[in-house]
Amino acid sequence: MADSHPAIITPEVWEAVQLEEKRRKEFMKAHRIKAFSSNIGENPFASKVICGECGEAFGRKKWRPRPGEYRSVWQCNARYREKGVMGCANRHIDESTLEQVFIKSWNALMENKDACIKKWKQLQKGKNPLQAYRAEKLLEYADKEVLRFDAEQMHVTLECIVIYETGKISVRYLDGTVIEM
Ligand SMILES: [Zn+2]
């Protein structure tokens, strides 16, 4: 019997996966990312920090201010694209600052919690299965009290953090919401 195997995934999940693959391909192309990384444990900000000046992704550098001391700092990948030539001059940002930026942006979202919940419930019922999945995750976190940086939460809700030379930072969520800081 052709139908004797149980369906492993529903058509909605399959469609959501296709849409997510398409989104990642376009995102990678737009920001010159060679391999989309989602290493939540080791490097949660990989493929998530974008240069607002030139559009390339930021990469992580380990700085050693003193022997035995490490600081993870993010800078534009176009900074030293050509050897010995200074490329994009955008500012760098500490990983600990990125964590704070994410928490603050989430708190800013939650200041309008009722409006957010209304919007996400509509998305959840909508025709786009990827958006419905995003909305479900956002609603889950809206129900919790978020006090500390949570890489898992960021992974399922954040599209990217855009860093500008002026100090302006845009936090873009996967449902399309943008928080300017
Ligand atoms: Zn740049």
Q: Which amino acid is at 31?
A: H
What is the pLDDT, as a whole number, of residue 6? 64
C-alpha to C-alpha distance for 161 and 80, rounded to whole angstroms = 21
DSSP code for 179: E
pLDDT (tens digit per residue) in 121-154: 999 999 999 999 999 999 999 988 888 999 999 9
CA distances from 57 to 33, 77, 158, 180 (A): 7, 6, 15, 19
Write down the pLDDT at residue 68. 85
CB atoms within 10 A of CB 141: 18
Helix (H) or strand (E) holding 143: none
What's the pLDDT at 158? 96
The number of distinct structural domains making up the chain is 1
Query: 3-state DSSP call for residue 94?
Result: strand
Residue at 85 is within a domain: yes
Assigned domain for 2 exists: no
CB count in 10 Å sphere of residue 94: 13
Tokens of 112: 């309008």
- Span from the CA of 55 to the centroid of ligand 1 (angstroms): 6
The confidence score (pLDDT) of residue 128 equals 95
Q: How far is the CA of 74 from the centre of ligand 1 (A)?
A: 11
Å from CA of 36 to ligand 1 middle: 18
Question: Ligand 1 centroid to 164 CA: how many Å?
Answer: 9
Residue 3 lies in a domain: no
pLDDT at 12: 87
pLDDT of residue 101: 97
In a domain, 44, yes or no: yes
Confidence (pLDDT) at 5: 64
Amino acid at 124: Q
Report, as ranges of residue numbers, the positions in the chain whose pLDDT lies below 70: 1-7
Q: How far is the CA of 75 from the centre of ligand 1 (A)?
A: 8
The Å distance, Cα 173 to ligand 1 centre, comes to: 21
d(CA 138, CA 8): 25
Domain extent, residue 110, equals: 11-180
- Let me know if residue 154 belongs to a domain: yes
Does residue 63 sit within a domain? Answer: yes
